[in-house]
Chains A and B, each alone.
Chain A
Amino acid sequence: MAHKFALESEFLTADIIEAMEFPFLVNKYGVFGVPKTIINDQASIEGSLPEDKFLQEILKAVQASV
């Protein structure tokens, strides 16, 4: 889903990260379950959400940080 978002927006970059290989990031972002999505290093979404809800959560997080 995150990659599909990236395809539709030139402002959005999406990394899918294999958690086991990057323990320092797991520590840094407090990943205790997957999937976990970190938005602009600030906010996070736990679990997977349907398309519209996922986008709303991302947009909300981005607006809150402006």
Chain B
Amino acid sequence: MLEEKEKRLVAELFKNLKNPVKLINFTQELECQFCRETRQLLKEVSELSDKVSLEVHNFQLDKEKVGQYGVDKIPATVIEGDKNHGIRYYGVIAGYEFATLLQDIVDVSKRESGLSPKTKDQLREVNQKIHLQVFTTPT
């Protein structure tokens, strides 16, 4: 999926990683095209740093993990640090979203969102569940 040049750039970026990051992928045995592409991309990304690991689960069989991560469709990808932060992708991660994935990995690894202090304060005051679903298209 990734070209050699891209791999080198990502590996360079990943030199800044601090803490381990786990990419958790949900797919199925007879993979849809998008499931296969997503898993392959995550595999290649995870091979570019020893701080990034990949865990693949079967959406139909691994009910415990499906429940734990609240995944309801595939392909699904969760970016996890020392805990589940509620960071998920549904569908292929391509185009602009690939840059978002790399940013997520860096942020989660550093445990630092880079948001303004004011935004962080407001988010820490949130005490009820918020579920955001952001629809995008690969461009």
Chain A residues with a Cβ under 8 A of chain B? 2-22, 25-26, 29, 31, 34-41, 51-52, 55, 58-59, 62, 66
Closest to A62 in B: B130
CB-CB < 8 A to B97: which residues of A?
A: 16, 18
Is A18 in contact with B136, judged by CB distance below 8 angstroms?
Answer: yes
CB-CB < 8 A to A36: which residues of B?
A: 134-135
Is B123 in contact with A39, judged by CB distance below 8 angstroms?
Answer: no
Is B119 in contact with A15, judged by CB distance below 8 angstroms?
Answer: no
Inter-chain contact total with CB atoms closer than 8 Å: 155
Known contacts A5-B123, A9-B123; A35 and B107 CB within 8 A of each other: no
CB-CB < 8 A to A66: which residues of B?
A: 128
Q: Which of A7, A11, A29 contacts B133 (CB 8 A)?
A: A29
25 contacts between A and B (CB under 8 A): A3-B107, A5-B115, A5-B119, A7-B111, A8-B113, A9-B130, A11-B126, A13-B86, A15-B134, A16-B97, A16-B134, A17-B91, A17-B136, A18-B89, A18-B92, A21-B92, A25-B135, A31-B135, A35-B135, A35-B136, A37-B135, A39-B132, A40-B131, A55-B123, A58-B132
